[in-house]
Structure 1
Amino acid sequence: MSKYDNTVKRLHHFDGIALLLIRLYLAPVMIQAGWNKASSFSGIVDWFGNEDYGLGLPFPFVLALLATAAELVGGIFLLFGLLTRLVSIPLLVTMLVAMVTVHGKNGWLAISDPSSWLADGTILLNERIMDAPEKLAAAKSLLQTHGNYDWLTSSGNMVVLNNGIEFAATYFVMLLVLLIYGGGKYVSADYFLTRNR
């Protein structure tokens, strides 16, 4: 057996680390999204159901409740690696619905970047991205003239949010990995609950 084969054989003890890192990345994202929905639940129900300024979804109360529970409870379970495969399913559905109903019309990019090859029509063009530099320049000019620009930008550069499917699609892929592989060997509650079976 070669050194390479021996190394690969030993690496199986670390199989769970990548899954742990995915869980630790996703958990706060999902918990925060669920908490935000729970904190303003009536507004979320209204936005889910309203056809004029919202999503126009049927059964808005039920769908808002399911999305809130999936993200809040699912995020907590992901944190501990508890029922990882099971909680990944409603979270996958939530991300898919978000991509189709909220983000899809905005193309791929989450943040407007007209210099990106993803903004040139290659993947789900949102033509408003091309206006982002002018909008950003106008906002900077207004803030430099009438606002405390240095304070407002002390935490980072200003950007124009495009709200494309980029983040939801990334979370979808990560959740799909967790659905297939589970919470991770040695690093999840699932592992310790099922290892004796």
Structure 2
Amino acid sequence: MIAQLQQGYHCAGRLLTPLEGIPALLLRLYLVPIFWMAGTNKFNHFDDTVAWMGNSEWGLGLPLPWLMTALATATELLGAALLLLGFGTRLISVPLAITMVVAALTVHWQNGWQAIADATAPFANDAVLAAPEKLERARAILQAHGNYDWLTSSGNFVVLNNGIEFAATYCVMCLALIALGGGRYVSVDYFIAQKFSATPNR
């Protein structure tokens, strides 16, 4: 019985081999617009981003802010393009993951975990626990002085917490791509490996 189960398991694995690149492809396609939008936003507001990165009073107070901004912008734009193609996937995922770690530690860390404040969720800090009262007051103002039904027609209002949640998630996805590569049959990396290697990589 156990032998038959093992045989069935291995048979299912062989049947799914053509699909094993799909998870890597989906991770890549998920991250492409995220990094592209982040990079283009920095590029289009480069001087403002440099000022924010360098100012210690209302910004991050980082050293060499022009260089830091240029590196982050180039990494995100180039990373989005390479992830789209699945070219150099493992290599570009390293600086992308590092960029997310830096963002988590310098921009989001002090806000805790949650990106959107939800007082009922785990890891709620003081700012998150105060969110329901802020949201209730905002709703009262909008209901009294605005077209509340129209304002909420696309979804409910929320209070942003700007925690590390999204940066950490994108970092984990990049780490997964370092392990998975671009994906079998769905990346330039795979076909280059097929051409130049006796044992192709993903």
Same fold (TM over 0.5): yes
Q: How does 1:1-197 map to 2 (within 5 A)?
A: 2-119=7-124, 126-197=125-196
Of stretches 48-57 and 70-79 in structure 1, the one that deviates more from structure 2 is 70-79
The count of aligned residue pairs is 191
TM-score (norm 1): 0.94
Structure 2: distance between partners of 1:18 and 1:6:
20
Structure 2: distance between partners of 1:169 and 1:9:
33
Structure 1: distance between partners of 2:181 and 2:169:
17
CA RMSD after TM alignment: 1.1
| Post-superposition offset of 1:82 | 1.2
Partner-residue secondary structure (3-state), 1:82: coil
- Identity within the alignment, %: 54
Runs of 4+ in 1 over 2 A off after TM superposition: none
Larger radius of gyration: 2
| Post-superposition offset of 1:118 | 2.4
Partner-residue secondary structure (3-state), 2:10: helix
Q: Deviations over 1:140-192 (max 9, x none)?
A: 11111122222221111100000111110010010001112210010011111
Structure 2, gaps ≥5 residues long: 197-202
Structure 1: distance between partners of 2:28 and 2:126:
34
Q: Deviations over 1:105-164 (max 9, x none)?
A: 111111100001221xxxxxx311111000001111111112222222111110000011
Structure 2: distance between partners of 1:191 and 1:5:
23
* Equivalent position amino acid for 1:38 in 2: F
Q: Which residue matches 1:122? A: none
TM-score (norm 2): 0.91
Structure 2: distance between partners of 1:141 and 1:82:
51
